[in-house]
Amino acid sequence: MASFTRGFGGRRRDVDDSKVPPGQTLVHDWPVLSAGATPEIEPSEWSFSIRTESGLHSWTWDEVRALGLEDVTVDIHCVTHWTKLGMGWRGVPLDKLFAEVETSLDFCMVHSFGGYTTNVPLDELLEGQAWIAFEADGEPLTPEHGGPARLLVPHLYFWKSAKWVRGIVMHAEDEPGFWENAGYNMHGDPWKEERYW
Amino acid sequence: MSLHTAPVRPLRHPAWHDATVVAVAPETPNAGRLVLDVPTWPGNDPGQHLDLRLTAEDGYQATRSYSIASAGDGTRITLAVDRVEDGEVSPFLVDAVEVGDSLEVHGPLGGWFVWRPDVSAARPRPVQLIAGGSGVVPLLPMVTAHAEAADPSPFRMLYAVRTPEDVFFRAELDAALALADRAPFTLEVVYSRQSPPGAETPAGRLTRDRLAASVLPPEAGALVYVCGSTPFVEQVLRWLGELGHDVTEVRAERFGGA
C-alpha cells in the first residue's frame, strides 16, 4: 500500500463495509453526472426497441410497463467514487423484453435519446440483473436523472445505467460505447474497480 | 448526433502516481490552491480530471475526483478545491494540507470535456466557455493553453460568481486577456450578490437575457463547454436551447446533486 498522508484521519465509517466497494464513499444525496444537455422526453414520445439479426422489436411506453413492473431495492455505485445504498426503484426487468425476442448475438449496445451509448454483455442484463426503470425512491424519474426511463444495471458502475434509454442494438462483438471510447472500462465491475482502461 | 462521434481518445494512459504537495495557497475565502509535484505524471489535456486518494495511518482511504487547473507535459499539477461544508476530503485539502505532504493521484482522466489547441486548423472554431463558481477549474487550462499556443480560435468566457472575492485565477485570466491580440479572448464576469466597486452592471443572478447578450450567438457554431453545480448547468443548458443553440453539441460537467 502507498504511504499515508500526514494528518489525514478520515471520517470513521458508520456503515457496513461489505456493501461499499473499494474506492467508494457513501452519499445520501444523488449526484448528477451527464456528458451534455438533458433531453426532455414525454412518455407519449418514448418507446423502446431491440434490434437483432431478425429485425426491430418495439414497445410503446404502455406496452413496456404492461410487461410487469417490479419494485427492487439496490445499491448504486458511480465511477466518480460515490455509492448510494438501498435505493428503491420501480421498473420492468429486461428478462420480460428479451422473452419476446430471439437472438444468438451476445453483446448489447444500449442507445439513449441524445446520442449516448454504452455496451453491456447480454448475459449481464438477464436473470434479474437489469431493468428499464421509471421511478426511483417512489417518484417518477426526473429528466436530470434520466427520466422518463433509464436503464438500471446496479451491479456495474452507474455509467452503464444509461439515462433516457431508447433501445438496444445486438452485436456479435463487444464494442465500446461513449465513455468506453473515452478511457472508461469495457465492463465496469465496481467490486473489481474496473474504472478505466 | 454529436455524442456518437465526439469523444477524444485519451492520449495518455491513466495510472496511479505518488504526489508531493509543493505549494498551498488560498484561492478564494472558500477554496484553496494546491500544486503537486508528480514525477511520473504523463501530462494532461486541458479539461481533464484526476482521482485523488488520501490514506490514513490505519490504512483507511478516501478518494475523490477533481478537475485539473493545469495542462501540458509537465510534472507539476495545479488543483483548486472548493471547501464542501461537512466534507471529508475537501476541508482537509483546503485547510490542513502542508507543503511536503504525500498523497496519490490517478489520471489523467476524461476524453470528452477537453479542448486542445490546433494552430493549423484551416477554420478555427470559436469556443464559448461558461463557468459557475468553481466550475471554472477545468476551463482555465483551456484558456491558458489557447493563449500559450497563440491559437487563433476566438475564445469567450462567461463566469458567474457570487462576489469579486470568489473569483478563481484572477491573475491567470488577466494574463490571458493580455495576450488576446494573438489569442483572441474575452471575459465577462457576472456577480450574483456583490459587484466590484464602480461596476456598470449591478449584482444580480445570471438571466437568460444576460446569457444571450454575453455568449457567442448560435450561428457562430461555437464549441460550448459548461461547468458548474448541477442546477447552474441545467439552467444554462435550458436557456441555450431556448436561444437556439444546438445543445446536443454542448459539453457539460456538473457537480453535486439535483
Q: Please check the confidence at residue B1 and state whether its pLDDT lies above 50.
A: no
State how far the Cα of A166 lies from the Cα of A50, in Å rounded to an integer.
Answer: 9
Q: In residues, how long is chain A?
A: 197
The answer to whether the CB atoms of B61 and A23 lie below 8 A apart is yes
Q: Which residues of A touch B7 (CB under 8 A)?
A: 178-179, 181-182
User: Domain boundaries in chain B?
Assistant: 7-109, 127-255
DSSP category for residue B94: I
How many other CB atoms are found less than 10 A from the CB of residue A76?
Answer: 23
Give the residue-averaged pLDDT of B180-196. 96
State how far the Cα of B12 lies from the Cα of B75, in Å rounded to an integer.
Answer: 13
Which grid coordinates are listed for B35? 500544486
Q: What is the pLDDT of residue B258?
A: 59
User: Domain boundaries in chain A?
Assistant: 22-27+43-192
What ipTM was reported for this prediction? Answer: 0.82
State how far the Cα of A177 lies from the Cα of A186, in Å rounded to an integer.
Answer: 8
Q: What is the pLDDT of residue B3?
A: 54
For A183, how many CA atoms within 13 A lie in the half-sphere containing its CB? 22
Give the residue-averaged pLDDT of B209-230. 96
- Going by pLDDT thresholds of 50, 70 and 90, the confidence category of residue B212 is very high
* Mean pLDDT (chain A, rounded): 94
First-to-last C-alpha distance (Å) of chain A: 21
- Going by pLDDT thresholds of 50, 70 and 90, the confidence category of residue A41 is very high
Choose the closest CB to B59 out of A1, A116, A183: A1
Nearest CA-CA distance, residue A142 and chain B, Å = 9
Give the residue-averaged pLDDT of A66-78. 97
Q: Please check the confidence at residue B91 and state whether its pLDDT lies above 90.
A: yes
Q: Hey, is the C-beta of B40 within 8 angstroms of any chain A C-beta?
A: no
The residue of A6, A8, A27, A158 whose CB has the most chain B CBs within 10 angstroms, and thus the best one to mutate to test that interface, is A8
- Give me the residue label for grid cell 470528452: B112
Strands A82-93 and A25-26: parallel
The answer to whether the CB atoms of A117 and B3 lie below 8 A apart is yes
Choose the closest CB to B2 out of A9, A12, A115: A115
Helix ranges restricted to H, chain A: 61-66, 94-98, 178-181
Q: What is the pLDDT of residue A9?
A: 86
User: Which tens digit of pLDDT belongs to each residue from B104-135?
Assistant: 999 999 889 999 998 888 889 999 999 999 99
Q: What is the pLDDT of residue B200?
A: 85
Q: What is the pLDDT of residue A72?
A: 97
Write out the E strands in chain A: 25-26, 47-52, 55-60, 70-77, 82-93, 107-112, 117-121, 131-136, 139-140, 150-152, 165-171
Write out the E strands in chain B: 15-28, 31-37, 49-55, 61-67, 76-82, 102-109, 127-132, 155-161, 185-191, 223-229, 251-255
Closest CA to B134 of B90, B168, B173: B168
Q: Hey, is the C-beta of B99 within 8 angstroms of any chain A C-beta?
A: no
* Mean pLDDT (chain B, rounded): 93
Range in A69-78, A86-95, B106-115 the model is least confident about: B106-115
Neighbouring-strand partners of residue B65:
B51
Decide which of 3.90.420.10, 3.40.50.300, 3.40.50.720, 3.30.565.10 is the CATH code for A22-27+43-192: 3.90.420.10
Decide which of 3.90.470.20, 3.30.460.80, 1.10.3470.10, 2.40.30.10 is the CATH code for B7-109: 2.40.30.10
Q: Please check the confidence at residue B191 and state whether its pLDDT lies above 60.
A: yes
- Going by pLDDT thresholds of 50, 70 and 90, the confidence category of residue B165 is very high
Residues 6+ apart with CB under 8 A from B219: none
Choose the closest CB to A183 out of B102, B111, B255: B111
Give the residue-averaged pLDDT of A174-191. 94
- Going by pLDDT thresholds of 50, 70 and 90, the confidence category of residue A22 is very high
Contact between A98 and A126 under an 8 Å Cβ cutoff? The reply is: yes
Closest CA to A194 of A47, A64, A79: A79
State how far the Cα of B206 lies from the Cα of B228, in Å rounded to an integer.
Answer: 13
Give the residue-averaged pLDDT of B154-158. 98
Q: Please check the confidence at residue B6 and state whether its pLDDT lies above 60.
A: no
Range in B19-28, B30-39, B185-194, B247-256 the model is least confident about: B247-256
Q: Hey, is the C-beta of B13 within 8 angstroms of any chain A C-beta?
A: yes
Contact between B227 and B138 under an 8 Å Cβ cutoff? The reply is: yes
The answer to whether the CB atoms of A37 and B62 lie below 8 A apart is no
Q: What is the pLDDT of residue B133?
A: 97
Write out the E strands in B10-148: 15-28, 31-37, 49-55, 61-67, 76-82, 102-109, 127-132
Radius of gyration of chain A (CA): 17
Q: Please check the confidence at residue B5 and state whether its pLDDT lies above 50.
A: no
Q: Please check the confidence at residue B70 and state whether its pLDDT lies above 80.
A: yes
The residue of A3, A4, A141, A178 whose CB has the most chain B CBs within 10 angstroms, and thus the best one to mutate to test that interface, is A4
Q: What is the pLDDT of residue B13?
A: 85
Asked, as a colleague might, if the bond just before A176 is cis with ω within 30 of 0, I would say: no
The answer to whether the CB atoms of A10 and B104 lie below 8 A apart is no
State how far the Cα of B255 lies from the Cα of B150, in Å rounded to an integer.
Answer: 31
Angle between helices B170-178 and B140-148 (to 10 degrees): 30
Residue in B closest to A12 by C-alpha: B60
Radius of gyration of chain B (CA): 18
Choose the closest CB to A197 out of B13, B98, B256: B13
The answer to whether the CB atoms of B54 and A38 lie below 8 A apart is no
Q: What is the pLDDT of residue B10?
A: 67
Closest CA to A149 of A92, A75, A74: A92
Q: What is the pLDDT of residue B123?
A: 87
Q: What is the pLDDT of residue B7?
A: 58
Residue in A closest to B247 by C-alpha: A37
In words, the CATH class of domain B127-255 is alpha beta
The answer to whether the CB atoms of B234 and A38 lie below 8 A apart is yes
Distances B126 to A134, A183, B216, B225 between C-alpha atoms, Å: 39, 26, 8, 11
**For residue A104, with 0-12 CB atoms within 10 Å meaning exposed, 13-18 middle and 19 or more buried, which class applies?**
exposed
Is it true that B7-109 and B127-255 share their CATH fold?
A: no
State how far the Cα of B196 lies from the Cα of B130, in Å rounded to an integer.
Answer: 20
